[in-house]
Structure 1
Amino acid sequence: MTRQLTGLALYDKTAQDAAAAVIAAYSTSFGMASRLLGPRVRPHVRNVYALVRVADEIVDGPASAAGLSPETERIVLDDLETETLTAVERGFSANLLVHAFAGTARECGIDAALIQPFFASMRTDITTHEHDAASHDEYVYGSAEVVGLMCLQAFVNAGREHPVAPADDLVEGARRLGAAFQDVNFLRDHADDANGLGRDYLGLGAPGQTRASVLDRIDGDLAAASAVVPRLPGDCRRAVTVAHDLFAELATRLRREGDAGARVRVPDPVKAVLATRALLGFSPRGARA
């Protein structure tokens, strides 16, 4: 007979369920990959995803659609950052998604050094509409690489009594995989970002900055990340392989189809094949066709 949860245990479980609902609603790809994580790690990655997704939504349309001005969006985002940092210190938040993230951060060693750059990049979306190479790299670090590092902290530390620092090669791999994911999304969403949000993250057309050069950079980042996947804990490798291979497939399709305008996606049957490969223990595949 299963004992019914009460008190803080029930609150923790409800917060984790809320985070799981966010990833299920917003991302089929990451939702599929997260299901391949072992139970030791899965809720922590969902908790990270949920918080960063909500922060992203503040600056990517829903808050504006609700009538918030850019100045008010900034206040809401700042309040969320303050609540997150406070919850990590206290171990509790009245915001269920923040509470879920704080539990993960405290167990896995995610601190302000990772949290603050993320919110800094989110604030950039309110104030900066065109990026050069330097601001692109800074934005990608905060918006994507640190998210990869947060997940790495969970991979290495979930279930430990005291968190430890991941190995340097794993840190490099997590950063480069996060950067590849972000640049793929920038290419996929280039038209929507430009027409709907007035943003240009890639500066396409600047000297040396073409779709081909961005795809070359993505391929290099994916290759570097794939090299360290075998060094990850066993209950994380399959999920990371699926996520890597989904974005490698997107990169291949982006290269093949050119700047056709339609948003490139991976069909469900192809996703199923990639998931099967990972379940069978295959290593991450290359990005090129």
Structure 2
Amino acid sequence: MPAALRLYDATACRAATQVLAGYSTSFSAATRLLGPRMRRDVANLYAVVRIADEIVDGAADQDVRALLDSYERAVLAAPAQRFHTDPVLHAYALTARRCGFAPQHLQAFFASMRQDIDTTMHTPSSLESYIYGSAEVIGLLCLDIFLADAPCPTHRPQLEAGARRLGAAFQKINFLRDLGADSRGLGRTYFPQLRDHPLDADIQAGIIADIRADLAAAAPATAMLPLRPRCAVTAATAVFTQLADTLAATPPAELTRTRVRVSNPRKLLTLATSLRRTH
């Protein structure tokens, strides 16, 4: 491989890592528990997902649908091309080729992003479809990264089921945390329970119970992962579980007004504690 291409590969991957670090402190911190190659691949995937998310969340000042369609075509075509002038696409293509990403998973993701353009109030079926594309397939793609250098395990179906449940749990936690901002700023309501009723204690408790069920269902699969990804996923789960606990303890009216967050020192303590328990 030419030295210039190796340098460009490394530079493109650093650009993707900067996208991850700029948008998610907790997720970025959890990826530090991965080996260098896995950490790079997760960042390369995250950067593409984040850019698509920004397109539909208002960062783009042009035809959102046309831009999203164009970006999907570029992402789906990226693995077949060795060099890209866009460093994030270049970095993503490196990872997609190495880890064997299934195009249908990316197509499902972009289908969910289109729902954010068209849908302001979800039904149970549309929410199920949305969560699959926006979160569960991301869990499956991360699993592709975690197992890229490992023999195909006989328990792959259990790992895939766990990855989907964990992705769903993380997404629902984000929905509840961002309830007010999504409603006021983006005009979206994800939880069908809120179609005809404001958030109250009973609805809040039901959502939290659903989240906890997803987390519990994902735990056995997490324990089956190889050591480094097991540590990282356990740490990320601990941070999101702490956030879920905080959301459960927050009055419903406050959840509709403010974005609940866990402080960085508490996140770091949670990450450190979970890492000790994993070992």
Question: TM-score if structure 2 supplies the norm length?
Answer: 0.91
Change (3 A) 1:20 1:201: same
Task: Say whether 1:95 aligns with 2:91.
Answer: no
Is 1:231 the counterpart of 2:228 in the alignment? Answer: no
> Are residues 1:270 and 2:261 paired?
no
Check 1:122–1:131 CA distance in 2 against 1; reply closer, same or farther (3 A cut).
Answer: same
> Which residue of structure 2 aligns with residue 189 of structure 1?
178
* Structure 2 counterparts to residues 23-102 of structure 1, below 5 A: 23-63=20-60, 67-68=61-62, 72-102=63-93
Q: Which of 136, 157, 163 pairs up with 1:174?
A: 163
Matched, 1:212 2:213: no
Residues 109 and 164 in structure 1, CA contact (< 8 A), matched pair in contact too: no
The whole-number CA distance in structure 2 between the counterparts of 1:109 and 1:277 is 33
2-structure distance, mates of 1:280, 1:253: 22
8 Å CA contact retained: 1:152, 1:166? no
User: SS where residue 54 of structure 2 aligns?
Assistant: helix
Q: 1:234 to 1:108 in 2, by over 3 A?
A: same
Say if 1:130 and 1:203, in contact at 8 Å, map to a contact too: yes
The AA in structure 2 aligned to 1:275 is L
Q: Of 216, 232, 248, which aligns to 1:255? A: 248
**Structure 1 residue 266, shift from structure 2 partner:** 1.1
Count of equivalent residues? 271
Take 1:26 and 1:221, find their aligned partners in 2: how far apart are those partners?
A: 25
Q: By how many angstroms is 1:279 displaced?
A: 2.4
How far apart are the structure 2 equivalents of 1:133 and 1:105? 32
SS of the residue corresponding to residue 168 of structure 1 reads helix
2:193 is paired with a residue whose SS is coil
Structure having the higher helix fraction is: 2
Map of 1:287 onto structure 2: none
**SS, match of residue 62 in structure 1:** coil
In 1, distance between residues paired with 2:78 and 2:88?
11
Corresponding residue to 1:221 among 206, 214, 221: 214
In structure 2, C-alpha distance between the alignment counterparts of 1:29 and 1:62, rounded to whole Å: 22
- Higher mean alpha-carbon deviation, 92-101 vs 130-139, is at 92-101
Structure 2 CA distance for aligned equivalents of residues 204 and 60 of structure 1 = 23
Asked if residue 245 in structure 1 is aligned to residue 235 in structure 2, the reply is no
Counterpart Cα distance in 1 of 2:194 and 2:104: 34
CA contact (8 A) 2:234 2:275 kept: no
Q: What is the alpha-carbon distance in structure 1 between the residues aligned to residue 160 and residue 82 of structure 2? A: 26
The question of whether the paired residues in 1 share the 8 Å contact of 2:121 and 2:195 is answered with no
Distance 2:117 2:155 in 1: 33
1:164 and 1:276, CA in 2 relative to 1: closer, same or farther beyond 3 A? closer
Q: Does 1:200 align with 2:196?
A: no
Shift of 1:281: 3.5
1 CA distance for matches of 2:138 and 2:210? 19
Q: Secondary structure at the match of 1:204?
A: helix
Task: Measure how far apart 1:163 and its partner are.
Answer: 7.8
Q: Secondary structure at the match of 2:241?
A: helix
Deviations 1:115-143 (A, max 9, x none): 10001111111111110110001000000
* Identity across matched positions, percent: 45
SS at match of 1:210: helix
Question: What is the TM-score with the length of structure 1 in the denominator?
Answer: 0.88
Secondary structure of 2:278 counterpart: coil
Residue 106 of structure 1 and its aligned partner are, at CA, apart by 0.8
Q: Residue by residue, what CA displacement relative to the aligned partner does 1:71-113 show, whole Å, maximum 9, x if unpaired? A: x111111111111111112333221111111111111111211
CA distance, structure 2, for counterparts of residue 211 and residue 44 of structure 1: 36
Return 261-270 or 112-121, whichever deviates more.
Answer: 261-270
Residues 190 and 200 in structure 1, CA contact (< 8 A), matched pair in contact too: yes
What displacement does 1:203 show?
2.1
Aligned to 1:119: 110
Aligned to 2:270, the other structure's residue is in SS state helix
Letter in 2 for 1:42: R
Contact map agreement 2:121 2:188 (CA 8 A) in 1? yes
